[in-house]
Amino acid sequence: MAHHSIYIVLFANTVKAGTILLFPTIGEIFAERAGILNLGVEGMMLIGAFVGFVVAYTTKNPYMGFLAGVLAGGFASLIHAFISITLRGNQIVSGLALTIFGGGFTTFYGQKWINMTLTHTLTPVKIPMLSSIPYIGMIFFNQDLIVYLSYIVVFVMWFILYKTRLGLNLRAVGENAKAANAMGISVYKVRYGWTFFGGLLAGAGGAYLTTAYAPFWLDGITAGRGWIAIALVIFAMWDPVKALVGAYLFGGINALQFQLQATGTTIPSAILNMLPYIGTFIVIIISSIIVKTRHIKPPKELGIPYIREEK
Amino acid sequence: MDEVILETRNITKVFPETIANKDISFKLRKGEIHALLGENGAGKTTLMNILYGIYLPTSGDILIKGKKVIIKNPLDAIRLGIGMIHQHFMLVDTLTVLENIILGLKEYGFVIDKKAVKKRLKEIENLYSLKVEPDVKVWQTAVGEQQKIEIIKVLFRGADILILDEPTAVLTPQETQSLFKILRKMKEDGKSIIFITHKLEEVMQIADTITVLRKGRLIKTLPKSETTKSQLAELMVGKTQTLDFSRKRPKSNEEILKIENLTVHSDKSLKSLKGVSLSVFKGEILGIAGISGNGQKELVQTVVGLKKAVQGKVVFNGIDITNKPPRYIAQAGINYIPADRLAMGVAPNLSTIDNAIMRRYYRFPLSKRGIMNYRKALAYTMMMAKAYKIKLDNPFAPIKLLSGGNMQKLILAREILENPKLLIASYPTRGLDIASTQFFRQKLIDIANKGKTIILVSEDLDEVLSLSDRIAVMYEGRIVGILNAKEADKNRLGLMMAGVKT
Amino acid sequence: MFYFEKRQQTPGYLKALIPIISLLLGLFIGALAILITGINPLLVYKGLFLNAFGSWYAFSETLVAAVPLILITSGLIVVFRMNVWNIGAYGQYIMGAIFSSYFALFASNGLSKPVMLTVMVIASMVGGAIWALIPTLLKIFWEVNEVITTLLLNYIALYILKFLMYGPWKNPSSYGFPLSKTFPDTAILPIIFKGTRLTIAIIFALLAVLVVWFLIKKSKFGYEVRVIGDNPLAARYAGISVNRNIIIGMAISGALAGLAGMTEVSGIVHYLQVKIGADYGYTSIIVAWIAYLDPLITVLASVLFGGLASGGYSIQITMRVSYGIVGLIESITLFSLVGAQIFLNYRIRWKNGSS
């Protein structure tokens, strides 16, 4: 039994660590589907993580913290939306600016919060029936509410993308904005909406990190997870369900790395900490090769500003 | 029949530096097909884009059923019952036909009710014999099919005013006839149609009323019964001018280019050239006709080294140039005027100088040991502008500020000055006004008369017929036949372009 | 509602005005951010300014920070002009530092100073170039997005550095601090102004600028870069090898970032450690943009942002204002720069809802 429980803890932690990546990956998928490349995920996550932490700390309510972090991420994304949609600026550079902004903002205001720890964090809520399924129950259904929310988000977003008018409009705008406009769809509204959504979810990933997974504040606590999420978008080939697989894969690397460190391995910690980046690096190469050979294309309008014809 | 359904009053549209429409007033009556005739750049498309809410007029009014309306965006137009079929189809490639048809519609629910859509599709099929496969992705459909999708889209939105912008440009003559049949049926059902074209023959076939535009102004509106082709031609162009392409046709059996069994894949890994073999003889003009998208682009780009052949061989002047780099092929003596000026022919934001020297910047005297001599580059550009009558105010300004005709002249000059043995010109006169078109055709004849070989790719059958010595027709990645220009006529070419064996 | 109308000509003053306004906007928003924390922003900015430009020594420290910025940005300009996004200058900088440190730490025996320094310069440039070429080759062969790979390689380089500093290259007498032994004197760049930390690296930087300026404005390579940057299809059509130029550009970019890493360890720190100039890689992106990818303006912009960095470090110590303020000011400036590009090609027009 004890032997089994190590694995159950590992896999349960995999789901938790994966959730941090899952939210931003889904968010970025939808922003990119609308044609907006937002490289500011890392910055939005940091802002979400920081605001989430501060609000959870002061209200002593992790749910309030999570919600605040989500909103903060959303507001941060609006800067990028304004620059890349209304002002048609270079999306790569604007996204990088957002990442620098997130770092600067949280370093500046986070100075006095460093090393503080939350007293109230998200706690697991067992789902009756489901949680008693052997293994599966303990791994997937003995988690906190935000993890359950992430399951719902994956399913709902998949449904919206492929089955509804909302998703149709989104796909049309990302593949051929001019045609979408000619059919009476407001390209600007769709893009603003989904960029904001991407920001909300990036905020959610960050806030989940500081209200559940690592309930303390450190400068740069997201440690590149935003970039891993952006790489996962390619791994997922812009599909929300595949994003789940990718996020858990990297959640697994994180959890494993954590477990090894806790059990006192001889592998140097620098090498352990490098694992997720090496892993992402390899995965992005493999996914790119698959994308290229199978002729799966990124959204055609990705990164291209939409210019409604001169009126 | 007399009810005016749409009217424009003194529509004027000013763009920075150009007046696209000036004081245009015309009336569209219920149940008529109204042709808007004019050459490229006459302002037809601008006017229609104003009706469809893509542009706002600088001044003037639009009235629908006698009521003044403001059309700020396509959504307003759709709500007012206006439907538009653009010259370049507004379809999303990666979506299915059904998804494209209901794009932007709210009637089929938040969760899309496919059954209801298919039911409505069936009704339209019965009414107009317009049949499409709803669950196929658009990129898998043929061009003629795509136009049907566009028409169905308009019908789904319950439009009673239809605007078709150059709808026959991508159709074979036979497909054109079936389109006309559909349009007549729509007219019977009381719909009103604006038909934009520059083709006189089609106007005489389909239109009830004809409005001629020239240089942004409305020249005249007149019923078809009271006019003739030659009168329309005169109204359209101003003074008529016939050009005699006196062509010395040198007979030669010397094979300058030999293509054997050439197979090329498209971006989506489909075969876009399926074992093409072709011989081009020294001194001839070989026309390549076909609806665009049937492999012409792949054929030409493979010859000049921009696409890779997966099979087959290209031999030029005795040298195997298959899959050689573009510069190697250019130096061997093949030059190329690409189909899309702005996409490939020039670097639009760079200066005219930078664009003029693109073919020879790496050679002395323009550069020496890796260092450029921009003084020489300027001199070369000015010489080019003078010799080819390119209107060039500032050679340092971005080339995109030049007019289409001037830009195309520069590309032509750049390629010809390399003194090629073979010049490949893809759609060289597309989008040019009549004067530039004539200039171009004359130039091509001139250089052919000097013994150069030319491959002319064009979808304009008049152009192909009047310039070529021989005409090869492409259909679905194959050459379906080669005719001597003397024995070819439009009808025969049209059938071949549609894949019908003759 | 407002809308944008295309301009035919860009007024010259606008090109000069946009960077200035952007920087002022960055400072203004930064001031608001400081104000919220209850500190007087004017005092902070005064401190920042005095610590950056207020004395010869302060200015020399600004130049110390400007040197790596100039080196890195000169390289970035070459690739940015081809729309290749090297976000990995930080990783290339670290690799340059590691490669040159190897010779300083383990192969310095019997080499004279000029030879030693030459070896280190070459090693750093090779190290940086290798780190830049990995993502370049991946991009060329498999279309792997270089933004993500260059960025990931920053983290990987950082952890390689950490591994070395906590493990094999660790100075045994460093009391557990992650740093190497001090370099021998032959591996240290000579100071050119007494009493400052300015080394001959400043000459490297100016040379780099001149070389890049020459490449861009006068060479055949520069012409090809221009065509590729504006229209890669036209470049292919003209027979330009896009891939070859991207490889050359990235090698230059990586080599200069690597050299910057060498000047840091050999000129400033004198040993290898985990914290070496983390922000230069990102700040140089801002410098490149504010300078319109022009190598000569880069010098001026680098001094400006070098001052911001150097002054920022000082006020963190003297006024306890977090260094985060520098990131805030930089990011707002960059946002504003990117957003304002539209005014070079368009002007704003206002239109009432009706007409």
What's the gap in Å between the CA of A186 and the closest CA on chain B?
Answer: 9
- In C165-271, which ranges are E strands? none
Q: What is the mean pLDDT of residues B245-274?
A: 79
Residue range of the domain that includes B450: 256-333+421-502
B73 with B154, same domain?
yes
B138 with B116, same domain?
yes
Q: Is B342 part of any domain? A: no
Contact flag A268-C167 (C-beta cutoff 8 Å): yes
Mean model confidence pLDDT for chain B: 87
B51 with B147, same domain?
yes
How much of chain A exceeds pLDDT 70, in percent? 97
DSSP, collapsed to helix, strand or coil, labels residue B425 as strand
Is residue B1 predicted with pLDDT exceeding 80? no
Q: Which residue has the tokens 């906190």?
A: A144
DSSP, collapsed to helix, strand or coil, labels residue C350 as strand
Q: What is the pLDDT of residues A123-172, one digit of tens each?
A: 888 888 888 888 788 888 888 889 999 999 999 999 999 999 999 999 99
Q: What is the mean pLDDT of residues A180-201?
A: 94
Q: Is A306 part of any domain? A: no
Q: What is the pLDDT of residues B100-110, one digit of tens each?
A: 999 988 889 89
pLDDT of residue B16: 66
Q: Is A217 part of any domain? A: yes
Q: Is A305 part of any domain? A: no
Residue type, B183: L
Q: Is B14 part of any domain? A: yes
What's the gap in Å between the CA of A160 and the closest CA on chain B?
Answer: 8
Q: Is B106 part of any domain? A: yes
pLDDT of residue C150: 94
B403 with B472, same domain?
no
Q: Is B412 part of any domain? A: yes
pLDDT of residue A190: 96
Final residue before a domain boundary, out of B369, B396, B419: B419
pLDDT of residue B246: 67
- Mean pLDDT is lowest, of B80-84, B495-499, C178-182, for B495-499
Pick from B343, B358, B359: CB nearest C233: B343
B143 with B62, same domain?
yes
Interface test with B, best of A156, A164, A176, A296 (most B CBs within 10 A): A176
Alpha-carbon separation of residue B205 from A198, B26, B167 (angstroms) = 54, 21, 14
Number of domains observed in the structure of chain A = 1
φ, ψ dihedrals at A269, nearest 5° = -65, -30
Which one, of C81, C106, C238, lies nearest residue C183 by Cα?
C106
Contact flag B108-A165 (C-beta cutoff 8 Å): yes
B129 with B268, same domain?
no
Q: Is B497 part of any domain? A: yes
B60 with B151, same domain?
yes
Q: How many CA atoms lie within 13 A of C247 on its CB side?
A: 9
B447 is written with which tokens? 């250089």
pLDDT of residue B244: 57
pLDDT of residue B3: 86
B44 with B156, same domain?
yes
Task: Report the CATH number that the domain containing residue B438 is assigned in CATH.
Answer: 3.40.50.300
Distance of alpha carbon A198 from alpha carbon A251, whole angstroms: 20
Residue in chain C lying closest to A79 (CA): C335
B280 with B379, same domain?
no
B392 with B479, same domain?
no
Q: Is A302 part of any domain? A: no
Number of domains observed in the structure of chain B = 3
Mean model confidence pLDDT for chain A: 91
How much of chain B exceeds pLDDT 70, in percent? 94
Largest CA distance in chain A: 71
pLDDT of residue B250: 64
B212 with B284, same domain?
no
pLDDT of residue B259: 94
Q: Is B97 part of any domain? A: yes
Q: Which residue has the tokens 């919220």?
A: C36
pLDDT of residue C87: 93
Distance of alpha carbon B399 from alpha carbon A169, whole angstroms: 36
Task: Report the CATH number that the domain containing residue A223 is assigned in CATH.
Answer: 1.10.3470
How much of chain B exceeds pLDDT 90, in percent? 41
Distance of alpha carbon A198 from alpha carbon A95, whole angstroms: 13
Contact flag A268-C163 (C-beta cutoff 8 Å): yes
Segments in B161-317 forming alpha helices (H): 173-188, 200-206, 229-237, 296-303
Q: Is B324 part of any domain? A: yes
pLDDT of residue A1: 42
Interface check A254 vs B, CB under 8 A: no
Q: Which of A48-62, B197-211, B260-274, B358-372 has the highest mean pLDDT?
A: A48-62
pLDDT of residue A103: 94
Q: Exposure pattern of A21-60 as b/e (b: 16+ CB <10 Å)?
A: bbbbbbbbbbbbbbbbbbbbbbbbbbbbbbbbbbbbbeee
Q: Is B274 part of any domain? A: yes
Binding-face residues of C in 260-289 toward A, CB within 8 A: 282, 285-286, 289
ipTM score here? 0.91
Cis-peptide into C178, omega within 30 deg: no
Chain B interface with A: residues with Cβ < 8 Å: 15, 49, 52, 54-56, 73-75, 78, 84, 86, 89-95, 99, 102-104, 106, 108-112, 153, 267-269
Alpha-carbon separation of residue B477 from A307, B258, B292, C76 (angstroms) = 35, 17, 11, 44
Which one, of C127, C130, C102, C103, lies nearest residue C115 by Cα?
C103
Q: Please identify every stretch of chain C with a pLDDT value under 70, giving residue numbers as ranges.
A: 1, 8, 278, 351-355
**pTM (predicted TM-score):** 0.90
pLDDT of residue A130: 83
Pick from A165, A300, A309: CB nearest B55: A309
pLDDT of residue B501: 62
Final residue before a domain boundary, out of B365, B393, B419: B419
B163 vs A135, higher pLDDT? B163
Residue range of the domain that includes A14: 2-293
Q: What is the pLDDT of residues B403-417, one digit of tens each?
A: 888 888 899 999 999
* Cβ within 8 Å of residue C113, ≥6 positions away: C185, C186
Label residue B248 by pLDDT band (50, 70, 90). Answer: low
Distance of alpha carbon A115 from alpha carbon A93, whole angstroms: 32
What's the gap in Å between the CA of C120 and the closest CA on chain B?
Answer: 29
Final residue before a domain boundary, out of B365, B396, B419: B419
* Cβ within 8 Å of residue A147, ≥6 positions away: A15, A16, A19
B269 with B153, same domain?
no
